[in-house]
């Protein structure tokens, strides 16, 4: 294995002559638009399903326990697909994987709206989760390839489009429901719009990354991914766990432990989501200016401060500010970690991204249950406040993303 080189990962824009700059922009712009469109599609799809959950629960007559069990199928499908994504992309490429997974993802939405029983819903959710997982890994592999073409950090802007897609999907679903459209029709309309997006943008995806080298350096030679990739995956696990904590436990904590009214308690996740979207919109410039290591170290510290503010706040305004601090702090950590996964070892991009996303998804799914277990023994305030220590631990090992294997020995498949 080639010797690793310690670098401070700032990836600044290199000085180029205007004509060269224009040529690079013209080559990158279509791929960047296409990849961004698929990130937005993922956000719209997931948030549309979230909007369908209450209607599906009522239509099938599911109690909370049964619904919770059925929803695990989504997480199971996502994890399985992220683990299988690497060999699929090694054989077919991330472009083909994305072009196949995205339409199937769109078609799943109206099928979910027509589920006739809890077993049928579980099966459809497993498939939906699998398509989300495969499309997510492939989209991130595409983003890494486009970022390499651009020669500067642009990963955060892709993840910003996922966040904005989530807000858009929730808003459009709400508007269609208020207009009187049935749930089934709403799902079909949104799916049709997303299918048009796939048809329009699919050809702009990167078909071949010019940095591709020997694919034999892939995961087939390894029993486990390299340690740096596992460390990056563990950091991603922690960040996704924190996101799941705000999503599933934030409103519960505010309402039950701090006696906020239901409407105010619900604003916690809204503050988190808006702050995260804003942070990602400006994240590329921040990464280019201060470097990946600093973004992770300071982002984790700000998110840790957010959790402490959330649980110690003496009033509602500071409690909601805590949620916003978590969002702004965490916003660019995951995009930076996923981007780093492709360069911290000689593992092919698809395998590295697959490993990191699978570990992160596990944190998102298992995290809320772990927090519930801890809260049973210590209280929810301590369980949530304890996440600050985990985030500080993430910041303490941020230097791992400053390690880089030379490109000429790293296999990168798009």
Q: What string of H, E and C letters represents the secondary structure of the chain?
A: CCCCEECCCCCCCCCCCHHHHHHHHHHHHHHHHHHHHHHHHHHHHHHHHHHHHHHHHHHHCCCHHHHHHHHHHHHHHHHHHHHHHHHHHHHHCHHHHHHHHHHHHHHHHHHHHCCCCHHHHHHHHHHHHHHHHHHHHHHHHHHHHHHHHHCCCCHHHHHHHHHHHHHHHHHHHHHHHHCCCCHHHHHHHHHHHHHHHHHHHHHHCCCCCCCCCCHHHCHHHCCCCCHHHHHHHHHHHHHHHHHHHHHHHHHHHHHHHCCCCHHHHHHHHHHHHHHHHHHHHCHHHHHHHHCHHHHHHHHHHHHHHHHHHHHHCCCHHHHHHHHHHHHHHHCCHHHHHHHHHCCCCCCCHHHHHHHHHHHHHHHHHHHHHHHHHHHHHHCHHHHHHCHHHHHHHHHHCHHHHHEECCHHHCCCCC
Domains of the chain: 5-409 (1.20.1250.20)
| The pLDDT value given to residue 194 | 96
Would strands 5-6 and 403-404 be described as parallel, antiparallel, or unpaired?
Answer: antiparallel
Of the candidates 343, 360, 324, 387, the one whose C-alpha atom is nearest the C-alpha of residue 7 is 343
| The pLDDT value given to residue 382 | 96
| The pLDDT value given to residue 10 | 46
Burial string for 55-75 (b: 16+ CB within 10 Å, else e) reads: bbbebbebeeeebeebbebbb
Contact 288, 13 (CB under 8 A): yes
Residuewise pLDDT in 10s, the chain (414 residues): 444 443 444 444 444 555 555 655 667 899 999 999 999 999 999 989 888 888 888 899 988 778 888 888 998 999 999 989 988 888 888 999 999 999 999 999 999 999 999 999 999 999 999 999 999 999 999 999 999 899 899 999 999 999 999 889 888 988 998 899 999 999 999 999 999 999 999 999 998 644 334 344 444 456 688 999 999 999 999 999 999 899 888 988 998 889 988 888 888 888 999 999 999 999 999 999 999 999 999 999 999 999 999 999 999 999 999 999 999 999 999 999 999 998 898 888 888 999 999 999 999 888 888 898 999 899 999 999 999 999 999 999 999 998 766 544 343 444
353: alpha, beta or left? (left if phi > 0; alpha if psi -120 to 50) = alpha
| Residue 356 in tokens | 């990191």
Contact 157, 289 (CB under 8 A): no
| The pLDDT value given to residue 55 | 87
| The pLDDT value given to residue 215 | 43
């Amino acid at each position: 294995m080639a010797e690793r080189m310690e670098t401070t990962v700032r990836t600044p824009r290199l000085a180029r002559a205007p004509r060269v700059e224009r040529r690079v922009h013209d080559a990158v712009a279509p791929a960047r638009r296409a990849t961004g469109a698929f990130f937005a599609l993922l956000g719209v799809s997931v948030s549309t399903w979230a909007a369908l959950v209450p209607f599906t629960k009522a239509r099938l007559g599911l109690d909370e326990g049964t619904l919770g069990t059925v929803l695990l199928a989504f997480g199971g499908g996502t994890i399985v697909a992220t683990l299988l994504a690497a060999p699929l992309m090694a054989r077919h490429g991330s472009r083909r994987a994305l072009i196949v997974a995205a339409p199937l993802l769109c078609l799943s939405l109206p099928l979910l709206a027509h589920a006739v029983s809890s077993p049928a819903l579980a099966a459809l959710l497993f498939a939906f989760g699998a398509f989300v997982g495969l499309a997510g890994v492939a989209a991130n592999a595409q983003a890494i390839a486009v970022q390499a073409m651009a020669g500067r950090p642009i990963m955060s802007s892709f993840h910003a489009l996922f966040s904005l897609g989530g807000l858009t999907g929730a808003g459009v679903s709400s508007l269609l429901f208020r207009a009187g459209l049935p749930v089934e029709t709403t799902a079909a309309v949104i799916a049709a719009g997303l299918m048009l997006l796939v048809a329009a943008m699919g050809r702009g995806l990167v078909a071949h990354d010019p940095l591709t080298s020997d694919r034999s350096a892939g995961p087939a030679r390894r029993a486990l991914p390299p340690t740096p990739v596992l460390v990056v995956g563990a950091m991603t696990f922690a960040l996704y766990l924190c996101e799941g904590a705000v999503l599933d436990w934030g409103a519960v904590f505010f309402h039950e432990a701090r006696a906020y009214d239901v409407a105010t308690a619900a604003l916690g996740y809204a503050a988190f989501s808006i702050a995260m979207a804003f942070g990602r919109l400006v994240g590329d410039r921040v990464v280019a200016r201060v470097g990946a290591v600093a973004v992770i170290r300071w982002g984790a510290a700000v998110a840790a401060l957010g959790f402490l503010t959330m649980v110690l706040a003496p009033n509602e305004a500071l409690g909601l500010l805590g949620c916003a601090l978590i969002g702004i702090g965490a916003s660019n950590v995951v995009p930076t970690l996923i981007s780093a996964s492709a360069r911290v070892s000689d593992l092919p991009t698809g395998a590295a991204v697959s490993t990191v996303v699978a570990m992160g998804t596990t944190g998102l799914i298992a995290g809320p249950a772990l927090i519930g277990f801890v809260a049973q023994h210590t209280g929810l305030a301590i369980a949530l406040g304890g996440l600050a220590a985990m985030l500080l631990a993430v910041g303490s090992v941020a230097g791992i993303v400053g390690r880089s294997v030379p490109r000429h020995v790293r296999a990168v498949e798009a």
